[in-house]
Amino acid sequence: MKKIKLVYNPRAGDSSFPGRINEFVRVFQQGYEVSLLNIIGANLAKRFSRVNFAEYSCLMVAGGDGTINSVVNAMLDNGIEVPLAILPTGTSNDFADYLSLPNDFEEYYELIRQGNIRMVDAGRINARYFFNVCAGGFLTGVPHKTDTALKNRLGRIAYYLKGLQEFPSFKPLPLEVTTSSQEISSELFMFLVLNSSRAAGFDSLVSESSIDDGLFEFLAIRYGSFYEMFNTLIEVFINKNQQQDNVILLKDSYFYLKPTRENFPGNTDIDGEKGPAYPVEIEVLPGALPLVVPK
């Protein structure tokens, strides 16, 4: 019988997934032998190194973007090429939403049975990986500072409330941004390096994006007055208008981000998790992830 391994985060979203595991197993045992791995306290890279994934049809992950990031890092660290299936059960599932992936078990069973695989890009940032977004500046740290109980009650709205609270006290991020063809130096309010066009619960942030074109989009807002920055946030995230004087939009396969002031504190954020400290080197890994997607 074919095998599926499910890696799940019992604390993701409203923490309801553990209560649905029996239902999940019942559905998938129609055609697969199912093994489960609770991500809490697990060293995924080490655990994956002990598994013969050649025996598996699929590696599934149930959780939010942070959980998926952990699985992607363990896969790429171990050179695992088995198809990855994302079951969105987290507070934030931007990549799954971008791909319109279902969270209904019966529907997902059919999706895996159809076996439609798309080779999608991933990003390497220093010695780590991300699959959807690397962020810096204003948005960085908001997910980690947001109370877990509040996230479970309010979902993404909790992030937005925390962001508004942090807004007035934010200091500029002085960065030199180098791509394969140009260099820009500016004080930034925030930036996103995007694989898909969706992040922070907002879609269509960049036009003509593709998750398998070997390129990422760099979207940044320059630091300015409170009014300018707030207005630009509305234009970019709500009105989907990137044609603003204080917006930077680049497209490349390589980015090097270096602070222009020495000993500048702070970290990046990758897929909603704390990322490496500056400076960071980001490169696209074309077609690095075999992903189960709808036809």
Q: What is the pLDDT of residues 124-177, one digit of tens each?
A: 999 999 999 999 988 675 554 555 554 455 445 445 555 556 666 678 899 999
Give the total number of structural domains in the chain.
Answer: 2
Q: CA–CA separation, 196 vs 120, rounded Å?
A: 10
pLDDT of the residue at 55: 94
Q: CA–CA separation, 273 vs 130, rounded Å?
A: 10
Residue 56, number of CB atoms within 10 A of its CB: 19
Specify the pairing of strand 2-8 against strand 56-63: parallel
Could you say which of 115, 143, 174 is where a domain stops? 115
Give me the CATH number covering residue 65. 3.40.50.10330
Q: What is the pLDDT of residues 50-98, one digit of tens each?
A: 999 999 999 999 999 999 999 999 999 999 999 999 999 988 899 999 9
- Four-point Cα dihedral 72, 78, 79, 84, nearest 10: -30
pLDDT of the residue at 147: 53
Q: CA–CA separation, 144 vs 151, rounded Å?
A: 11
- My answer on whether 224 and 110 are in the same domain is no
- My answer on whether 87 and 155 are in the same domain is no
Give me the CATH number covering residue 151. 2.60.200.40
Q: What is the mean pLDDT of residues 25-36?
A: 96
pLDDT of the residue at 221: 94
- Listing DSSP states for 56-108 in one string gives EEEEEEEE-HHHHHHHHHHHHHHT--SPEEEEE-SS--HHHHHTT----HHHH
pLDDT of the residue at 162: 56
What's the whole-number average pLDDT of the chain? 90
Q: What is the pLDDT of residues 181-234, one digit of tens each?
A: 999 999 999 999 999 999 988 889 998 889 999 999 999 999 998 889 888 888
Residue 142, number of CB atoms within 10 A of its CB: 21
In a domain, 292, yes or no: no
Q: What is the pTM of this model?
A: 0.90
Range of the domain at 182: 128-286
